[in-house]
Amino acid sequence: MTQPWKIAAVQMDCRLGDKPHNLRIMKARLVEAAASGARLAIFPECTLSGYCFENKEEALAHSEPLPGPSSEEIKGACRELGVSVIYGLLERQGSSLYNSLALVGPGGLLAVYRKVHLPFLGVDRFAERGPGPFVVHELDGLRLGMLICYDGGFPEASRCLALQGADLIVLPTNWPPAAIANPLHVVVTRALENHVYFAAVNRVGTERGVRFIGMSRIIGPTGKPLAVSESDREETLYADIDPVQARRKRIVHEAGKYELDRIGDRRPELYSPLVQDGGTP
């Protein structure tokens, strides 16, 4: 039988280009999360490296391969604490730079996700688009999908994960003030329209004049907020994820009179414009 998962969304600051400091703070927060009973801890986008780099050369100097030094160190902490971790970093593959997430468990690196949709902002100006596809990962009974920041603004990405059976979609992010509509509106919509749990984990602090707003959220499959930050301060949110609830797509408000299934009631034969490569009409 699938068991509920307690997850931790770690809203934290980090120092630009100071990987040893950021990794030390991550490990301390991980100890706290494990002590609170969390089985999965989620950290923000680019937690390890910071985000506001001025050119590709500067960013590459603070990148690393996967698996690499940070994933190996995190693996040791996961093994000791019996938890899994998702964290953001700059990944280097040869001369290529990706804005990536690493999923690490007690046995080591489990999966890598490379940001697919790139805004013209921060280090994403110099990164390469992730090749995809969107993939759901099985984590001891929990079906998990990963996205990064701007990806959350494209409903197709979350829908692809939902159609593959995701129970939980995580969105590590670096939202500045101009992105405030995302915590207020977008994350609730993504959870509701796909009937999944959705965890958006933002950072706080300021880098090179750019302020990050926090306001992390964990939302339930019906759109109900389960844990919410309204601050731009460091804190950790906790919520219980029940895969059974996410998989029960048909919502019965009144049997035989008021029932909804936002997955089963789709009309994909009408959606071909979604996969056509075209600009604004």
Residues whose CB is less than 8 angstroms from the CB of residue 80 and which lie 6 or more positions away in sequence, other chains included: none
Alpha-carbon distance values, 270 to 154, 217, 274 (Å): 19, 33, 9
Catalytic entry in 14, 46, 52, 149: 149
> Is 160 designated active site?
no
Told to judge if 56 belongs to the known catalytic residues of this protein, a careful annotator would answer no
Which residues does 161 contact at the CB level (< 8 Å), separation at least 6?
Answer: 134, 136, 145, 147, 169, 194, 196
Q: Which residue has 């997955």 as its token pair? A: 263
Which of the residues 14, 19, 45, 207 is marked catalytic?
Answer: 45
Q: How far apart are CA 150 and CA 156, in angstroms?
A: 12
45 is catalytic: yes
Q: What is the DSSP letter of 32?
A: H
- Of 267, 266, 262, nearest in space to 250 by CA: 262
8-state DSSP, 225: E
State the catalytic residue, choosing from 91, 115, 160, 207.
Answer: 115
Block residue for tokens 């977008």? 186
Strand partners, 227: 218
Q: Which residues contact 241 (CB under 8 A, 6 or more apart)?
A: 4, 5, 6, 7, 142, 167, 168, 197
Residues with catalytic roles: 45, 115, 149
